[in-house]
Amino acid sequence: MNVHLYPSYFTNESRILRIVDSLRKHCIFEEILIVAIARTDLPGRETLLPGVHLARVDPAFGRSLHKSWSGRLIKACGWYAAVLGLLRTLPIDCINCHSLSVLPIGAILRLWKGCRLVYDTHELETETVSSRGIRRQVARLVERLLIGQCDAVSVVNQSIAEWYRARYGIPTVWSIRNMPRSSPGELRPTGWLRRAVGLEGRPECLLFLYQGFLTEGRGVRLLLDVFARLGEPRHLVLMGYGDLESLVRQAAGTHPNIHFVPAVPPEQVLEYTADADVGLALIENVCLSYYYSLPNKVFEYAMCGVPGLVSDFPEMARFIDQSGFGWKVLPDMESLVARISALERSEIEDKKALIRSGRLRYSWEADESKLLEMYGRLALRPASACGPRGLD
């Protein structure tokens, strides 16, 4: 059995789903269990794929405490205790920790069960926006103490892999990019996005799409200021949700070339995205994790045949330089106004033609072999039986 720990409600964790799907298809494990946090409106148990199960767990204690620092800590400890209780009788061969916060549980289970431990970080864990002051110092201490117990460490790009190797002296850190699976056919414009913002039948309008979480550090405020200054025929569409939603709605009500589209179901995101002319990923340098980031949306844009305009930071710039699938720019007002003002439809169409000829090089299948090689080196070979046994 393979267990994946991730302290979220697990409603759309695409990277973990791709990993477990690859492990399932290649019969590395007979059963896979994902452990997440319980929420009253979500089922406690689900079967996501044949042999892949999800368990959302309530804290064993502290669930009713308020959101003070001490209350959150007690509640987290209650969740850890509940997870250990859930796993105490299960025969675990490998445990994957998808966050630094669950690495202590993974280390305990490794010693208790004699299983393999994989630390699969989704970002630069100790250098995030929320990690600061004493919290950052504790995080750095925990990671330094426990990372040596991991049998494998995997990250989402080359820059973060190099950082981990240098910081902790780890000889091998696996870089497995967060790319979507290849789509069965080429995605063409659907008209969905243009209809949603009332621009159907207006081909002269260029649609610049931001899709994702509307929060600080993602360039949302900057984009609102840029497009308010630019005006027609360049239109900004922000599709998603988050704590800046009210600000986005206000701007959309004030400027006719700024539009808000509420988050759509995950299975419809690509159909909406394919209707854009340019995809935006303008992360700001507010922490080292953001500076080294390579957002999944950069690859989603390419999979949809949409060129990207991205921050000129190491990993996003590397992708643009290697693929030619868009443009890189410093995420500041003057640079963005100059770059976006200069974009014409002919240049955009040239980029779209280049993407159509090479987009499959940047799909999950391109890095899947590295994932399987990592498990092979852990002496975790394909299971003798590949069918699910079911969980009690």
- Helices then strands, counting H and E runs in the chain, come out as 15, 14
Domain locations along the chain = 2-179+365-377, 192-362
How is residue 340 written in tokens? 């976006």
In this prediction, the residues of the chain whose per-residue pLDDT falls under 50 are 388-392
pLDDT for position 188 = 81
Q: Provide CB contacts within 8 A for 338, sequence distance 6+.
A: none
If one looks up domain 192-362 in CATH, what number appears?
3.40.50.2000
Fold of the domain built from segment(s) 2-179+365-377:
Rossmann fold (3.40.50)
**Domains 2-179+365-377 and 192-362 fall in the same CATH topology:** yes
pLDDT for position 319 = 97
How far apart, in whole angstroms, are the C-alpha atoms of residue 363 and residue 58?
A: 35
How far apart, in whole angstroms, are the C-alpha atoms of residue 13 and residue 15?
A: 6
pLDDT tens profile 285-316: 999 999 999 999 999 999 999 999 999 999 99
CA distances from 7 to 13, 177, 266 (A): 11, 21, 20
Closest to 193 measured CA to CA, from 238, 225, 223: 238
pLDDT for position 69 = 67
CB atoms closer than 10 angstroms to residue 265: 7
Q: Provide CB contacts within 8 A for 384, sequence distance 6+.
A: none
pLDDT for position 390 = 42
pLDDT tens profile 331-380: 999 999 999 999 999 999 999 999 988 888 899 999 999 999 999 999 86
